[in-house]
Amino acid sequence: MTRRIVALVSVALLVVAIAPAAVSAQDDELNIAFLPGVEDPFYRVMEKGVQAAAEDFGIDVQVAQFPATWGTSAQDPILSALKGQGNLDYIITAPVSTEGMVAPLQEALDQGTKIITVDTFLGDGDYINGPVTFPISYIGSDNVEGGRISCNAIAEAIGGAGKVYIQNTNPDVSSVMGRSQGCREALAAYPDIEIVDEQFNLDVEATAVQQTEAVLQVHPDLAGIFGVNVFSAQGAGEAVKNAGLGGEVQIVAYDATQRAIELLKNGDVTMVLAQKPFDMGYLGVEFAMADWAGVSSLPKHVTTGFAIINADNVDDPEYARFIYQVE
Ligand code: T6T
């Protein structure tokens, strides 16, 4: 058994035990596709998890084109092309809008393709009692908790007082809005911390840089920034560095890209929260195989955990292995 498999949650181990016996490596009737949210290091690592599972189980998984930008107008046409193939049993995907991707994915299901959501969810994510219940499962981070962890770290770094800015991406995406909610919940416990603004860059790093520069102009005494994903955090880090405020404004970066880690090592970023996209991709494939094999007890909600990376542990292999490595 490989190290990767050992690291998986127990439910996954159960699936590992069941799936190979029931699905033969030669079973070419099982057709799975992976459709990511956007071209970025997070989803490239998720793709590695997908490919590792495919290799471990001796199957092929089709990796769809990576959407060039974030949004339904980029993801939906790729989904339409997948639906047009007419041969897919499962699509593992990160829907780019909680509402906007419901109908297109429901249509895929109506055509006989089951849906597994990774990283982001549809509706409110409660696939048992919520408004959307058709996906097999949501496999991803507990982003509300991730937001709490991030902003408690900011609160601690700024000594429990000062102005904080949330640099966000899109208001209709479950992952980043969960992070914002968790951040607000955490900071509510600090009467001397004020959230001065929250802005949405639509997943464009250059916009994140411009927005953060503008906020620094209006609030030169800004104490902390929560960058909710790759593009927000890298953009905020760049703006703070350009303003010569590295180390003075405390930035917490969600997503452990190489760039975020560089900023951490240079003292421009205080803490980096690494998600586990590899696990999301791997488990997505396992869940498809298990469902195909007839497993009917798959959990509707699986959380994949975090690694909290800071200047003290960044070189420790136990933490460094969660930095998003993309060749
Ligand atoms: O933060 C990840 C992902 O979790 C989020 O849903 C969208 O942005 C990223 O892909 C990072 O760019």
pLDDT (tens digit per residue) in 213-249: 999 999 999 999 999 999 999 999 999 999 999 999 9
Q: From the CA of 175, give the closest atom in ligand 1.
A: 6
Residue whose CA is at the smallest distance from ligand 1 atom 12: 230
Give the C-alpha separation, 5 to 240, whole Å: 40
The token pair at 187 is 């900071």
Token pair of 183, please?
């951040």
Token pair recorded at residue 125: 């994510």
Model confidence at 35: pLDDT above 80: yes
Q: Is the dihedral of CA 230, 285, 138, 273 positive or negative?
A: negative
The yes-or-no verdict on residue 46 having pLDDT over 80 is yes
Instruction: Give the strand order in the sheet containing 32-35.
Output: 61-63, 32-35, 90-93, 114-118, 138-140, 301-303
Ligand 1 neighbour 175 (Cβ under 6 A): yes
Q: Are 154 and 226 in contact (CB under 8 A)?
A: yes
> What 3-state class would DSSP assign to 250?
strand
Q: Is the CB of 231 under 6 A from ligand 1?
A: yes
Q: What gap in Å lies between CA 212 and CA 218, rounded to an integer?
A: 10
Task: Kindly report the backbone phi and psi dihedral angles of residue 245, in degrees, each rounded to the nearest multiple of 5, phi listed first.
Answer: -110, 15
CA 50–ligand 1 middle distance (angstroms): 17
Report angle CA 302, 273, 257 to the nearest 5 degrees.
105
In the predicted structure, residue 165 carries a pLDDT above the cut 90: yes
- Percent of the chain at pLDDT exceeding 90: 90
Tell me the β-bridge partners of 139.
Answer: 118, 302
Residue 124 confidence (pLDDT): 98
Given this model, what pLDDT does residue 9 score? Answer: 44
Bridge pairing between strands 138-140 and 301-303:
parallel
Q: Please check whether residue 228 is in contact with residue 168, taking contact to mean a CB–CB distance below 8 angstroms.
A: yes
- Of 9-13, 67-71, 278-282, 288-292, the range with the lowest mean pLDDT is 9-13
Tokens in use for 17?
A: 């035990």
pLDDT at 169 over 90: yes
Q: Could you identify the atom of ligand 1 that is nearest to the CA of residue 275?
A: 4
Percent of the chain at pLDDT > 70 equals 91
Give the mean model confidence (pLDDT) for residues 307-324.
98
The confidence score (pLDDT) of residue 102 equals: 98
pLDDT 10s digits, 299-313: 999 999 999 999 999
Rounded mean pLDDT, 101-112: 98
Output phi, psi for 24, to 5 deg.
-75, 150
User: According to DSSP H, which parts of 220-316 are helical?
Assistant: 230-242, 258-265, 277-292
The contacts of residue 49 (CB under 8 Å, 6+ apart) are 277, 278, 279, 280, 281, 282, 283, 284, 285
Residue 315, judged by CB atoms within 10 A of its CB (0-12, 13-18, 19+), counts as exposed
pLDDT digits (tens, 9 = 90+) for 119-149: 999 999 999 999 999 999 999 999 999 999 9
Choice between 15 and 162, residue whose per-residue pLDDT is larger: 162
Q: How far is CA 203 from the centre of its chain?
A: 13
> Count of H helices and E strands in the chain?
12, 12
Q: Residue 253 forms beta bridges with which residues? A: 227, 272
Residues 3-29: pLDDT tens digits?
Answer: 444 344 444 444 444 444 334 334 458
Nearest to 241 by CA among 270, 208, 271, 268: 268
Instruction: Indicate whether 316 pLDDT > 50.
Output: yes
Q: How many angstroms is it from 228 CA to the middle of ligand 1?
A: 8
Neighbours of 33 (CB within 10 A): 24
Average pLDDT, the chain: 93
Closest by CA position to 149, among listed 7, 307, 322, 258: 307
**Residue 28: its pLDDT value, please?**
59
By C-alpha distance, which of 28, 30, 92 is closest to 63?
92
Pairing mode, if any, of strands 162-168 and 222-227?
Answer: parallel
How confident is residue 105, by pLDDT bands cut at 50, 70 and 90? very high
The protein residue with its alpha carbon nearest to ligand 1, atom 10, reads 42
Does the CB atom of residue 229 touch ligand 1 within 6 A?
A: yes
State how far the Cα of 7 lies from the Cα of 20, in Å rounded to an integer: 18
